[in-house]
Amino acid sequence: EGDNLESIIEKNIRSAKSRIWIAVFDFDLVRTAQELVLQKSRGIDVRVQVNKQEADSLSAAPWSFLKKFQNLGETEKSEALKILENAGIPVRDNSQGKGSSGLMHHKFLIIDEQIVVTGSANLTESDIHGDIENPDSRGNANSLLVFNSAPLAPELHLREKP
């Protein structure tokens, strides 16, 4: 699997037997979203929590200041988040309906309250695969850790229920 962090994420998603809960700052991986939809169709409980701004728009801090220079009207969610929502997968933001409660910068998946996938990468093309427009960035400076730990997984999910 080497530098293909998305394949590591998807391999662990495919291993789910009952639940996949994700808390991540940003999510735009279409292939991973499609894999989550497939798992939901198998009866797996899939839930996703993202940062409020990521749930609302394509533009994230620190680039949000550019919105005033663009005539975007309504901002759009990433294609990956739309795929999840269209499949009936709950996608919550960290505001819980009360306006943004600050930055939610988690990066973890909990699978079956047993496996934790975490690391430095958001679930985005640039974090997982590098910048498509900059070939020198291909490969990856981010990392993923996969823990098979029944004591760790419930501890994370009790603190941050997606």
Q: What pLDDT digit, counting tens, does each position of 93-123 carry?
A: 776 655 555 667 789 999 998 999 998 888 8
Give the E-state strand segments of the chain in sequence order.
19-24, 45-50, 91-93, 107-111, 115-119, 144-148
pLDDT band at 19; cut points 50, 70, 90: very high
> Highest mean pLDDT range out of 6-10, 69-73, 156-160?
6-10
- Residue 142 and residue 124 in contact, taking contact as beta carbons nearer than 8 Å: no
Tell me 123's DSSP state.
B
How do 19-24 and 45-50 pair as beta strands? parallel
User: What tokens were used for 120?
Assistant: 């430095």
At 47-85, the pLDDT tens digits run 999 886 655 544 444 444 444 444 443 346 789 999 999
The closest alpha carbon to 9, from 134, 140, 136, 104, belongs to 140
Order of strands, sheet of 91-93, starting from the edge strand that comes earlier in the sequence: 91-93, 45-50, 19-24, 107-111, 115-119, 144-148
Which has more confidence, 42 or 145?
Answer: 42
